Amino acid sequence: YDFLTSHHRLDRDQSRFLKNKTFGGNEIVAGTRRLALMNMFLHNIGEIDGEPMISNSDALIADPGYRYDYILTNPPFGKKSSMTFTNEEGEQEKEELTYNRQDFWTTTSNKQLNFLQHIHTILKTGGQAAVVLPDNVLFEGGAGETIRKKLLETTDLHTILRLPTGIFYANGVKANVLFFEAKPASKEPWTKEVWIYDYRTNVHHTLKKNPMKYSDLEDFIRCYNPENRFNRKDTWSEESPEGRFRKFSYDEIIARDKTNLDIFWLKDKSLADLDNLPDPDILANEIIENMEASLASFKEIMATINGESEEN
């Protein structure tokens, strides 16, 4: 909003549209939603006594019907969707929640995979999205593999930014930003190549002592080349093995086991330095994450086997 108003001269109708019709969102947690609405009001977006621009429903329940030109989002982390209910004894219980939507490519209880499918649905053709997602979205088998293949086919998944650890409140969280553009139906896959910027390997941030700053991402922005992303250059080569920006063709990615997009090539120097190993809680979280991903993949396989057995 501030950028548009400061860089463009808007007439009355354009200003009204920018204020009341341009932005929208969804937040299921009441307190967080109130903070988001207050932030919008402080930036002169929306009307305090008008229609709320951020809904508080479960975004995954159904296709809302509206479509967006741009989507910036950080869906909630956590592997499984669940709902809390009161049982016959009056005790609170949680039950795994699976969404069955006709617009989804596949059914899964993985929240991040469902949000990725939801974002694909509500993005206009030609619309662009930047989505923060944990590593499991890039390598999980079963439904994860299906969704990655569909995303590569139906959108131009042109860039992945590997984020460093130490930028979230939870220790050891590994996340990425996926940048993609929605495309019309086509027999050929829209993604021709995926550019990956590794800002994780050998990068160390903390929330207090060494927080990530805008200047830390300036090299990524230069490599991304927002003025013309079709004119990019690798910074990695056999002669420059420390380069952080590298492209992979569609064929290279499809040939990988489970269409795995968790791609890295830089040597982790901290693992070679016994005096500078990652914190134990980070290593423990990595082990847990890998075990959970393996268990989820096995459950997907068992569900498929059981389904085939019932049909026979």
pLDDT value of residue 166? 84
94-135 tens-digit pLDDT: 556 788 899 999 999 899 999 999 999 999 999 999 999 999
Same domain, 26 and 142: no
What is the rounded CA–CA span in Å between residue 55 and residue 37? 10
Same domain, 40 and 160: no
CATH number at residue 79: 3.40.50.150
Reply yes or no on whether the pLDDT at 173 is more than 80: yes
pLDDT value of residue 128? 98
Same domain, 194 and 211: yes
Q: Among 226, 225, 223, which Cα is nearest to 236's?
A: 223
53-103 tens-digit pLDDT: 999 999 999 999 999 999 999 998 765 554 444 445 555 555 567 888 999
Same domain, 52 and 66: no
Same domain, 48 and 112: no
What angle in degrees, to the nearest 10, is found between the helix axes of 143-154 and 111-122? 20
Same domain, 205 and 228: yes
Range of the domain at 11: 1-57
Last residue of a domain, one of 40, 57, 74: 57
| Residues 6 or more apart in contact with residue 95 via CB below 8 angstroms | 82, 83, 85
Last residue of a domain, one of 57, 77, 92: 57
Alpha-helical (H) ranges within the chain are 2-7, 12-20, 30-42, 111-122, 136-139, 143-154, 218-224, 250-254, 269-272, 280-311
- Pairing of β 155-162 and β 175-182: antiparallel
Last residue of a domain, one of 42, 57, 72: 57
Same domain, 34 and 111: no
The residue written with tokens 């209880």 in the block is 109
Same domain, 13 and 106: no
CA distance readout (Å), 278 to 20, 143, 175, 205, 216: 47, 31, 17, 12, 21
Q: How confident is the model at residue 42 (pLDDT cuts 50, 70, 90)?
A: very high
Same domain, 52 and 76: no
pLDDT value of residue 273? 56
Comparing 14-23, 203-212, 220-229, the range with the smallest average pLDDT is 203-212
* Residue 19, φ and ψ in degrees, nearest 5: -75, -40
Same domain, 140 and 19: no
Same domain, 43 and 68: no
Q: How confident is the prediction for the chain on average, in pLDDT?
A: 88
Please, is 256 exposed, middle or buried when counting C-beta atoms within 10 Å of its C-beta (0-12, 13-18, 19+)?
Answer: middle
Total number of domains constituting the chain: 2
Please, is 271 exposed, middle or buried when counting C-beta atoms within 10 Å of its C-beta (0-12, 13-18, 19+)?
Answer: exposed
The pTM is what?
Answer: 0.82
- Quick count: other Cβ atoms within 10 Å of Cβ 104? 21
Same domain, 167 and 28: no
Alpha carbon 108 to its chain's center = 16
Answer for the pair 286, 172: CB distance below 8 angstroms, yes or no.
yes
